[in-house]
A and B are shown apart, each in its own frame.
Chain A
Amino acid sequence: MNDPTTGAVSDRSDGQATPARTYNDAALWQQYAGDRRRSVRNQLVEANLGLAAHIARRYSGRGIDEDLRQVAFLALVKAVERFDVSRGVPFSAFAGRTIEGELKRHFRDTTWTLRVPRAVKERSLYVAKLGEQLAQQLGRSPTVAEVAEYLEISTDEVVEAVAAGGASTPSSLDATDEDRVPAALGEDDAALLSVQDAVIVDRLIEVLPEREQEIIRLRYYLECSQAEIAERVGISQMHVSRLLRRSLEAMRLIADDPADDPEDGGRARVVGHGEAPASSS
């Protein structure tokens, strides 16, 4: 099995991943770090498309899901743009972690699980807390680069977090751990909807706005990819992803509230379009 943390794999049309050269052209990375040219960025992305496809395939179960390929592709682009060659970490390791993180988040957002909103202020709390810790360790205020390296996020994100910390909507100090800690309450297995679930889900869908109803049906009944839905509905693929997530959340909230349905107080289950592996690391 190819290990994405040690090398790239080629993306063969027959779906079989085969070892390929590890793309570790330090000179190209140095060049990109210096001039940030898109042509160089594109070379680096294209050289690592196989890595992204390989990881997406691991999350796809049978076949390759076009949505997952898209998520992995964008994660790869972000990884290339954020990679710091001077840290001495192989790109494949850095990118593998980034891509897996985005895929897991994609599953979390598009399957029937509780999703805790990721707010900017949440990150600003981490950054503020870490800033204090690092200041104590270093005997001085840490630089943005130091905080970014420690948290494994970009310097942009640190700057944003600092800015968000001073925004007009302060974080609530009364938030409970439950508000902050992600928890999976549902099942995201790939089982088919039971008849009972299907009836419940049909009723839940009807509470959604018309466009969201159409998107849910296209995605889960007709099994269209997000890109196909985007084209049919006339919005971006990422927007489709957001609407799907929001719709599922809305449906879950209603399904979880027994007051809404005394007879069918149990939670309905909507399955995602793929099955996250039990162990993906």
Chain B
Amino acid sequence: MSGEHVELVIPADVRYLSAARVVAASLAADAGFDLDDLDRVRVGTNELLTILIETLDPEHRVCVTFASDHNDAGAARLRISGDVLDADDATPLTVELDELAYRILTAVTDDYGVTASGFQLTVSAS
């Protein structure tokens, strides 16, 4: 991700989800998101990161990248992506989204995507 951004590298373990959520929420707060929008950032990050981590072995690491800018309408926007570091051949090829995940992500993000090697989501303040 080009431009000014923050990177957080965490082991692929759900114990580190809160670290990612807190960083995401902190940056969203700094960008001017209100609590409702901040909640969307936190829920979306948690969902996608959990989905990704559950496909990985604990020895894997995920680099979560956070970048804030503005969308076309001038509203603050936070873009978050996760990339699996040291991915190997054993990494599953596909990630299936269940209905709950789909409902959650559709409701809280502007857009999102997830594969076996990473995820991305965008949330704009409104």
Contacts and interface: CB of A to CB of B under 8 A. Distances in A.
Interface of A: 35-38, 42, 45-46, 70, 73-74, 77-78, 81, 105, 109, 117-120, 123, 155-156, 159-160, 163-164, 167-168, 235-239, 242-243, 246
Interface string B80-108: 00000000000000000010110110111
Given A38-B54, A81-B46, 11 more contacts: A37-B14, A45-B100, A74-B104, A78-B39, A109-B36, A118-B34, A120-B29, A156-B21, A164-B26, A167-B29, A242-B126
Given A160-B26, A236-B110, A120 B38 contact: yes
Contacts of B110: 235-236, 239
Contacts of A105: 36
Given A118-B34, A238-B108, A77 B29 contact: no
Nearest to A226: B107
Size category of the B interface is: 35 or more
Interface of B: 14, 17-18, 21-22, 25-26, 29-30, 34-40, 42-43, 46, 50-51, 54, 98, 100-101, 103-104, 106-110, 124-126
Contacts of A117: 34
Contact of A38 (B26, B42, B50): B50
Contacts, number: 83
A117 B109 CA distance: 21
Instruction: Say what secondary structure dominates the interface of chain B.
Output: helix
Nearest to A123: B35
A168 B29 CA distance: 11
Contacts of A36: 14, 17, 50
B103 A73 contact: yes
B24 to A, nearest CB: 10
The 4 A-B pairs at the shortest CB distance, nearest first, are namely A242-B126, A36-B14, A118-B35, A120-B29
